[in-house]
Structure 1
Amino acid sequence: MKPKILLVDDEANVLQAYARVLRGRFALDTALGGEAALECMADRGPYAVVVSDMRMPGMDGVTFLAWSMAQHPDTVRIMLTGNADQGTAMEAVNRGSIFRFLTKPCDSELLSQTLDLAVRQHQLITAEKSLVEDTLKGAIRMLVELLSCLDPISFGRAQAMAAHAEAIAREMSMENPWVLGIASILSQIGILTVPEGVATKLQTGTFLTSAERDLANRIPEIGADLIRNIPRLEEVAEAVLYMNKNLNGTGYPPDDKKDQDIPLGGRILRVVWDYERLLPKFSGPLSALRDMEGRTTWYDLDVLRAFKRCLEREDTEAPSTPTQRIGLHELRIGHVLLAGIETVDGLLVVPEATVIGLAHLQKLRNFARLSGIREPLIVKGEPA
């Protein structure tokens, strides 16, 4: 596939001249002026490289390329101008993060060579970004699998939270809804640091002493500190930190944030975490939500309304889920559990809704050797 290039100039004859030379080597679009270029990037972008003239009526090249950098940071930017003024070049580099600065009239061979270098730069940027994203996903996948192996009950609750939290984030048009899915899954990682007796009390709803309650309230803070060690998860850590914070400012952490000052991610986790704990006490999802709507000092009503819309859609659009009953030897990475997996003695090993990973398979095989696993296992269709 040819690299996508956008040429921007206010002179049609200049665009036509460059297009004749370059069109065979690149997937080329042209735009007559900055405003037309904005429309082109919105409709046909993103581009590997944009080349813009400096002096254009209306939106000049510096302004256009600065906008391009803000909206499409991976796109490589080149500026063409008849003005070789050092101040113009400096402003262009500072505002638009320019890869190359060429003076008009620009030799077509020089422009072609510069575009080759720019395309290579774009490939390096996107390859590095893909590597970082894959590394991040792998690290999160490992954390999720370890958490589910070490504490299947807490992880089961976190798994149940994740789909709801991400749905609410999308409903409220959050820029990165995936943040809430990851935050939900990792929200209970702090529980691994508390004494086993306290963790057991939390999972069974047993009475906690004052000291134990204080420790339990700090679990999100501990988890947030652990999550911050992973690059690019700062927003995830912040959401986890504020998941026990009430809208009126009470709760944890005990700072002065309240109402809209509390991060939206924290307000969403506050709702879905309590919803999962309350749901077994009510006849259905909407009745549990109605009970929560009465606690206006605890929850953000906008979050509750968005959650209600999500639940109503789930109720009307939920497709029938194909199920399979399989033996442990048939379980594969990617299978989604429709029921938790237990030992023959009734000990929960892997909770419902878990997407099976390598660590789960290894744990299940170990339990099968020592104490036996109840079969058949109930999974959703084929592995994802």
Structure 2
Amino acid sequence: MGQRILLVDDEPGVLDGLRRQLASRYTVEAVLSGAEGLKKLDHSRGSSNPFAVVVSDMMMPEMDGAEFLGRAAVIAPDAVLMVLSGKADLRSTISAVNTGRLFRFIPKPCSPRDLQAAIDAALVHYRRSKSEGDLLEKTLAGSVKVLAQALAMASPETGARITTITELVGGAARRMGQSNSWELRMAARLSQLGLVSIPPDVLQRVEGGIEGSAGEKAMYRAHPSVARDLLAGVPKLERVAAWVGGQTVDATAPPPRSDPDPDSRVELQRQIFQVAAEFLAAKDIGEWPPECAARLAAGGRYRRDVVQAVLETALERDAAPDAQSVTINQLAVGMRFVRDVKATTGAILVRKGDRVTDAVRVRLQNFKTYVGVVEPLRVTQPKDTL
């Protein structure tokens, strides 16, 4: 399937001529207004073949090219944007360049050869940018995954929390059609990063429901902001840092104030993460998932369908279907423990709900060799992952 080109022009005759010139070389879609163009771009988001190049007229009624391209840059940040116009004043052109990441300005009239050459150049730029972006995203995702495994190895309690919120977010994202969101994956895996600032004994007391000092409670409640500050300077993680910093950690307190994102798809993803964090906080105080869902639905801060998606995931996760008994040597990456793993001394090595990773297997092998581990282990393979 060829990469898609979107043409936007309010003159039907011009639009038909452009479509005929380009249809033999590209997959072309054409619309008569900026509003229609934004709908097309929004509908293509998350698809396997989004629009690669957008070519817009400048002087259009209701929404001119500068406004359209500025909004298009938000909806389709990877698309290459160009202007094809015979009427454009200097101010509107500057606005289009500044707000729309304009790749090229093509004056009308333009020969088919020149137009095709401009689009070919835009496609080369698109492919190069996508390739570099995909490589950066994969590298970042791999680094975050290793960091999450290191946190789990250093603290089973933290690892269990990462596993829980990752599975809640993953299942809800699948149910809401958002499973391709890399930002959701990053937010879930990095959500507990701030716990590294809390002494292990304090963390165990707070998460275990043991009454701690006011200072210990304040330290725990601050862990999202600690994570946000750590992530704030990482390129491409600005939104993830904001989500992590705004997560709920105390189900007995009012949820943090956060303004809805104007981008409806991003706002949906933010709510999936925040509701999953609410369920994790509810687990700390022993609140049953349906009770948590009822409380959140009644509060009105979250979409009811998002709350329901997280609830269904939580209930499916806790059901632990097809549990089986295995030895440490039979553990496979991706399995999930359905009961705590203990050393023969009684110490808990891995919490119920943790997922098997390479780091967990190495840790258990070492304990089996030098201390002893109670076997068999009870595990299951969950359906939803991020």
2:157·2:204 contact (CA, 8 Å) conserved in 1? no
Out of 52, 59, 66, the residue aligned to residue 55 of structure 1 is 59
The aligned residue for residue 205 of structure 2 is 201
The aligned residue for residue 277 of structure 1 is 284
For residues 228 and 74 of structure 2, the distance between their equivalents in structure 1, rounded to whole angstroms, comes to 29
Secondary structure at the aligned position of 2:77 is classed as: coil
Secondary structure at the aligned position of 1:10 is classed as: coil
The aligned residue for residue 333 of structure 1 is 333
The aligned residue for residue 346 of structure 1 is 346
Out of 246, 250, 253, the residue aligned to residue 239 of structure 1 is 246
Secondary structure at the aligned position of 1:109 is classed as: helix
Q: Following superposition of structure 1 onto structure 2, how do residues 196-345 of structure 1 map, counting pairs within 5 Å?
A: 196-209=200-213, 212-213=216-217, 215-228=219-232, 230-231=234-235, 232=237, 233-240=240-247, 243-244=249-250, 268=275, 271-279=278-286, 284-286=288-290, 300=299, 302=301, 309=308, 313=312, 321-345=321-345
For residues 305 and 7 of structure 1, the distance between their equivalents in structure 2, rounded to whole angstroms, comes to 37
For residues 44 and 261 of structure 1, the distance between their equivalents in structure 2, rounded to whole angstroms, comes to 26
Query: Is 2:103 the counterpart of 1:127?
Result: no
- Return the offset for 1:341: 2.8
- Range with greater deviation from structure 2 (159-168 or 76-85): 159-168
Q: Following superposition of structure 1 onto structure 2, how do residues 336-375 of structure 1 map, counting pairs within 5 Å?
A: 336-375=336-375
Secondary structure at the aligned position of 1:5 is classed as: strand
The aligned residue for residue 148 of structure 1 is 152
For residues 167 and 302 of structure 2, the distance between their equivalents in structure 1, rounded to whole angstroms, comes to 15
Secondary structure at the aligned position of 1:48 is classed as: strand
Query: CA, structure 1 residues 355+130, in 2 after alignment: closer, same or farther (shift >3 Å)?
Result: farther
- 1:177-211: CA deviation from partner (whole Å, max 9, x where unpaired): 98677556545444433444434433554453555
The aligned residue for residue 252 of structure 1 is none
Query: CA, structure 1 residues 170+111, in 2 after alignment: closer, same or farther (shift >3 Å)?
Result: same
- Matched-pair identity in %: 27
- Range with greater deviation from structure 2 (179-188 or 110-119): 179-188
- Return the offset for 1:13: 3.9
Q: Structure 2 regions of 5+ residues with no counterpart?
A: 262-269
Query: CA, structure 1 residues 330+178, in 2 after alignment: closer, same or farther (shift >3 Å)?
Result: same
Partner letter of residue 128 of structure 1?
A: E
Secondary structure at the aligned position of 2:102 is classed as: coil
Query: CA, structure 1 residues 182+352, in 2 after alignment: closer, same or farther (shift >3 Å)?
Result: farther
Instruction: Report the TM-score when normalising by structure 2.
Output: 0.75
The aligned residue for residue 254 of structure 1 is none
Secondary structure at the aligned position of 1:79 is classed as: strand
2:169·2:310 contact (CA, 8 Å) conserved in 1? no
Instruction: Report the TM-score when normalising by structure 1.
Output: 0.75
- Range with greater deviation from structure 2 (38-47 or 305-314): 305-314
Q: Following superposition of structure 1 onto structure 2, how do residues 152-191 of structure 1 map, counting pairs within 5 Å?
A: 152-164=156-168, 186-191=190-195
Query: Is 2:386 the counterpart of 1:380?
Result: no
The aligned residue for residue 30 of structure 1 is 30
1:286·1:308 contact (CA, 8 Å) conserved in 2? no
- Return the offset for 1:156: 2.0
1:271·1:304 contact (CA, 8 Å) conserved in 2? no
The aligned residue for residue 137 of structure 1 is 141
Partner letter of residue 208 of structure 1?
A: G
Q: Tell me which structure has the larger Cα radius of gyration.
A: 1
- Return the offset for 1:143: 2.3
For residues 91 and 205 of structure 1, the distance between their equivalents in structure 2, rounded to whole angstroms, comes to 56
Query: CA, structure 1 residues 66+339, in 2 after alignment: closer, same or farther (shift >3 Å)?
Result: same
Query: CA, structure 1 residues 60+317, in 2 after alignment: closer, same or farther (shift >3 Å)?
Result: same
1:9·1:15 contact (CA, 8 Å) conserved in 2? yes
The aligned residue for residue 9 of structure 2 is 9
Secondary structure at the aligned position of 1:118 is classed as: helix
For residues 219 and 43 of structure 2, the distance between their equivalents in structure 1, rounded to whole angstroms, comes to 52
Query: CA, structure 1 residues 94+274, in 2 after alignment: closer, same or farther (shift >3 Å)?
Result: closer
Q: Structure 1 regions of 5+ residues with no counterpart?
A: 250-257, 294-298
2:58·2:85 contact (CA, 8 Å) conserved in 1? yes
Partner letter of residue 279 of structure 2?
A: V
Partner letter of residue 122 of structure 1?
A: Y
- Return the offset for 1:271: 3.9
Query: CA, structure 1 residues 344+168, in 2 after alignment: closer, same or farther (shift >3 Å)?
Result: same
The aligned residue for residue 94 of structure 1 is 98
For residues 221 and 14 of structure 2, the distance between their equivalents in structure 1, rounded to whole angstroms, comes to 66
Partner letter of residue 120 of structure 2?
A: D
- Return the offset for 1:106: 0.5
1:190·1:220 contact (CA, 8 Å) conserved in 2? yes
Query: CA, structure 1 residues 247+300, in 2 after alignment: closer, same or farther (shift >3 Å)?
Result: farther
- Return the offset for 1:48: 0.5
- Return the offset for 1:6: 1.6
RMSD: 4.3
- Return the offset for 1:41: 3.5
Query: CA, structure 1 residues 236+367, in 2 after alignment: closer, same or farther (shift >3 Å)?
Result: farther
For residues 247 and 374 of structure 1, the distance between their equivalents in structure 2, rounded to whole angstroms, comes to 39
Partner letter of residue 380 of structure 2?
A: K
Query: CA, structure 1 residues 122+92, in 2 after alignment: closer, same or farther (shift >3 Å)?
Result: same
- Return the offset for 1:118: 0.5
For residues 225 and 272 of structure 1, the distance between their equivalents in structure 2, rounded to whole angstroms, comes to 24
Secondary structure at the aligned position of 1:100 is classed as: strand
- Return the offset for 1:166: 7.3
Q: How many residues in Structure 1 have an aligned counterpart in Structure 2?
A: 365
For residues 78 and 171 of structure 1, the distance between their equivalents in structure 2, rounded to whole angstroms, comes to 36
2:168·2:314 contact (CA, 8 Å) conserved in 1? no
- Return the offset for 1:15: 3.3
